[in-house]
Amino acid sequence: MKRRSSLTAIVATVAFAALALAGCSAGGTTSSGSSSGTGTTHLAGAPSWCGTKKIKLAQLDGFGGNSWRLVTTASGEDEVKKCASVTSYQYANGNGDTQKSISDIQAFTAKGIDAMVVFADAGQAMLPAIRSAYKAGVVVVPYRVEVGGTAGKDYTQFVGASFVNDGTNWGNWIKQQFPNGANMLFLSGPKGNSQGTDELKGLNSVLDSKYKYLNEAPYDVTNWDPALTQTVLTAEIAKNPKIDVIISDFGPSLVGALPVFQKSGRSIPALATSDGNALGCFWKANHAANPDFKLFTVATGNDNVRLAVDWAVAKATGGTPPSSSTFKAPVFEDSVSGQPNPVQCDSSLPGDIYLSAQLSKAQQAAAVNNK
């Protein structure tokens, strides 16, 4: 029964090593985002944030494994190309492994990189590495995920996204569509995520008590997982005979769940969310059969990285930093007013690209397809 040979030991060792290496392949689905580098992108000549000093820049991702991240990465690279002073651009992907993300920062510091933009998925755990790079004289711009610390002491500048602003935009639209109040369902990611609570702040700053939340406070937990989203939505649909509007910070994850309304003989309700090609195409295909299905989206925020790059390049090359350090996602689609855009769908492209991003459709498709 027991034939423990040295071969067994070798196989065990290899299996264990493989395990240790591939260990935590955490799936950080960052949902929605914010969008575009507002007003900092003058293509005529070099933009004002592009100074004259020659620098090397690195973009670091804590987790690069979803289409949103691929488009974001490509957007960062595209922004860098606008400034000829950046002589070298490099990218590193932490693959959801905090240890690797930290050693990426240390490696780039050791290699003499002048500036880095960091998507610090691990949050505060990244602060010591970020601080030591900053102390070593590197311009460090963490973006989108808060790392704690203070600008000028632990890093050069933090470029956050205003999720409160997203909530306010959704709230204003809901008020327009349902002036007499509405039954609302608000879905966000994991329990306690600050993106959801910020969005709720924005919503509540606009909506009064006529607008009723049907979800558990502060939001229904979906972990931004399409399967869980579907289960949660199914339960809410069964429980609530009247849902006027669904608010979600990850629009494309609803595509699988919305047909549940039709299966129970109801119209898909109004939707205030973030954009995605799959969602736009779903609306085009289904709005005729669902009279209440109105769609309003804010940009999903791939362009947040552009603002971070602008800051990093400005600080390192001696250019003028952008006026704002917070990325505010612009409104993208409104199926009712058609302003600023009617619903967008390009069925020739993958469902998981984001037409709200500045990056061209072709470049996005290339970024997603190359992987």
Partner 1 sequence: MLTDVMKRDTNRLTTSRLRVAPGFVAIAIATIALFSVGGVLAPSSISHSAIIGMVPFAAVLAIAGLGQMLVVQQGGIDLSVAGGISLAVVISTHEPAGDSSKLGSAILMAVAFALAAGLVNGILVSLLRLNSIIATLGMNALLYGAVFAVSGGTPRSTTALLAAVAGGSTVGIPNAAFFAVAALIVVSVLTKKTVAGRRFEAIGANPAAARAVGLRVRVHQTLSFVWAQLLYCLAGVLLAGITNQPTAFQGDSLLLPSVAVVVLAGTSLLGGRGFPISTVIAALFLLQLQQFVLALGVDTSVQTLVQAIALAVGVSLYSVNWSSVRRRLFVRKPTQAIPA
Footprint on this chain of partner 1 (rule: CB under 8 A): 1-4, 7-8, 11-12, 14-16, 18-19, 21-23, 25, 27, 29, 64-67, 70, 95, 191, 216, 221, 225-228, 230-239, 252-253, 255-256, 259-260, 263-264, 278, 350-352, 368-371
Q: Which is nearer to partner 1, 19 or 44 (CB)?
A: 19
Q: How many CB atoms lie within 10 A of CB 313?
A: 31
Residue nearer to partner 1 on the CB measure, 108 or 213:
213
Return the SS3 of 247: strand
Give the integer Cα–Cα distance in Å for 200 and 195: 9
Shortest spacing between CB 140 and partner 1, in angstroms = 26
Closer to partner 1 by CB, 236 or 334: give it: 236
Q: Give the pairing type, strands 55-61 and 86-93.
A: parallel
Can you read off the two tokens belonging to residue 239? 């429980």
Minimum Å distance from CB 366 to partner 1? 13
Nearest to partner 1 of 110, 235 (CB atom): 235
Q: How far is the CB of 222 from partner 1 (least distance, A)?
A: 10
Q: Which two tokens stand for residue 206?
A: 């606009």
Report, in Å, the least distance between residue 137 CB and partner 1.
34
Closest approach, Cβ 298 to partner 1, in A, equals 18
Minimum Å gap between C-beta 8 and partner 1 is: 5
DSSP-derived pairing of the beta strands 295-298 and 331-334 = antiparallel
The answer to whether 283 and 290 have CB atoms below 8 angstroms apart is: no
Q: How many CB atoms lie within 10 A of CB 336?
A: 13
Q: Name the residue nearer to partner 1 (CB basis): 146 or 346.
A: 346
CB of 39 to partner 1, least distance (A): 31
Cβ proximity to partner 1, 151 vs 260, nearer residue: 260
Q: Cα dist. 13→2, 17, 50, 73 in Å?
A: 18, 6, 51, 36
Give the bridge partners for 260, in sequence order. none
In the bound state with partner 1, the residue whose beta carbon lies nearer, of 28 and 149, is 28
- In angstroms, give the least distance from the CB of 144 to partner 1: 18
Q: Which is nearer to partner 1, 190 or 338 (CB)?
A: 190
The answer to whether the CB of 33 falls within 8 A of the CB of 274 is yes
Question: Least distance to partner 1 from the beta carbon of 74, Å?
Answer: 12
Give the DSSP letter string of 268-329. Answer: --EEEEE--HHHHHHHHHHTTT-TT--EEEE---TTHHHHHHHHHHHHHHT-PPPS-SEE-P
**Distance, CA of 271 to CA of 273 (rounded, Å):** 6
Closer to partner 1 by CB, 226 or 342: give it. 226
Tell me how many degrees the CA angle 175-179-181 measures, rounded to the nearest 5: 85
3-class secondary-structure state, position 55: strand
> Residue 284, exposed/middle/buried by CB under 10 A (0-12, 13-18, 19+)?
middle
What is the rounded CA–CA span in Å between residue 172 and residue 340?
A: 15
